[in-house]
Amino acid sequence: MKEKISKLLCDLIAIPSIRGMEGDVNRYLYDYLKDKCDEIELITVDDSIMYDPDYSFPIENFTYKNTPNLRVKIKGEGEGKSVVFNTHVDVVPPSQGQEDAFKPKIVDDVIFGRGACDAKGQVATLVGLIELLKERKIKLKGDLEFHFVFEEESGGNGTLAMVRKGCKANAAIVLEPSEFAVIPSVRGAVWFDIIVYGKSGHSGRADDTVSAIKKAYEVIQILESYHDRLLAESRGKNRLFDVYENPMPVTFGILNSGNWPATTPPIAELKGVFGFLPNKNRKEIMEEMKNEIIEKGSDWLKNNFEIKFNMLHSDGNVIPEDHPLVTLLVESVKKFNYSGNISAMTASCDAWLYNNQLKIPTVVFGPGSLKYAHSAQEQIKISEIIDASKILLDFVTNYCR
């Protein structure tokens, strides 16, 4: 099993499945799994998905003709609970300093490479579960369905396409690196694009100019203040988030402005991501961010900015800590000598689409650590993948009776 899963993960890492190039991963998985399941389907997604109100990060002249999702099903014998599993096959581009990101490297028990833990190691975990079910000839009462999707990193468009086709299940488990913690609470996030306008002019004519860079900095101060107030208001609403100093950070990732040191720039573009806890939804956050700039901004700023949310926008999601999905999965985790910690996720993922839109109780779970995701040191232990597969086998054996 270890040798088989190691080869599988190395093969997956070697496929550079950044956005638009995920199709080869799912075609590989189709060939690998077609004799190990009851149903398998490469699902071509129509480009009309780009007009869905929940679609994220549109790109001009983009097409999904060669980028299918993969749906796999193992049928139960009937009268048992069903589970849908989800993870993503897309990866972010290589990090600075990450040489040969798509050439996997094995050192003892550890596999290095882009996607090792986020989330091709999670793909390998689900394949391991399917392998164990077949090898041990285990027949469950309930159905298992597996969704291997594209574009989680770009806002969840692959999962959105699967959700729009419909799916019925009693529980959903979205695999992301969680260090074996069971996560019933996930924060939301919106990516913002703010354009600020100034008044261009010579550096010697301060009275006749307005610096767009300075106005962009004013926006940063306003949104930082809004973040701090929102975090204070969110405290006590969910104890799993309260253990973190800042479980919903606001990040300013890009600021573009100016083309000459001695000229006041007339325009600045500020891009970033605003995190929020599940006591708020993304539409409320979008409206409040805009209103904060209008209400707290200077007379010039409030009349000279645009704000757009056409990239990633995910709601958070929550189920109770004592939900059977949580408690049974925790029991299975503990059987394999892990802590069975119940935690919150301070990043966003695709879980909300199952939980909030399909009303399927959903948790996040998986081997590996988020601290290595998107980094030049991305890695995962092979033994943890095998353990995660065995944990999920134990869970479905009990839950799907």
Annotate 326-355 with three-state secondary structure. HHHHHHHHHHCCCCCCEEEECCCCCHHHHH
pLDDT of residue 184: 98
| In the predicted structure, residue 359 carries a pLDDT above the cut 90 | yes
Q: Phi and psi at residue 162, in whole multiples of 5°?
A: -70, -40
Locate 39 and state its tokens: 């149903």
Average pLDDT value for residue range 102-111: 97
Evaluate whether 388 touches 125 at the Cβ level (below 8 Å): yes
Burial 62-74 (b: 16+ CB within 10 A, else e): eebeebbbbbbbb
pLDDT band at 311 (very low <50, low <70, confident <90, very high): confident
| In the predicted structure, residue 383 carries a pLDDT above the cut 90 | yes
| In the predicted structure, residue 205 carries a pLDDT above the cut 90 | no
pTM of the full predicted structure? 0.95
Mean pLDDT score across all residues of the chain: 96
Whole-number percent of the chain with pLDDT over 70: 100
| In the predicted structure, residue 401 carries a pLDDT above the cut 90 | no
pLDDT of residue 310: 86
- Domains for the chain: give ranges and CATH numbers: 2-186+316-399 (3.40.630.10), 188-313 (3.30.70.360)
Element (H, E) at 388: helix 382-399
* pLDDT digits 0-9 by tens, 30-55: 999 999 999 999 999 999 999 999 99
Evaluate whether 53 touches 161 at the Cβ level (below 8 Å): no
pLDDT of residue 204: 87
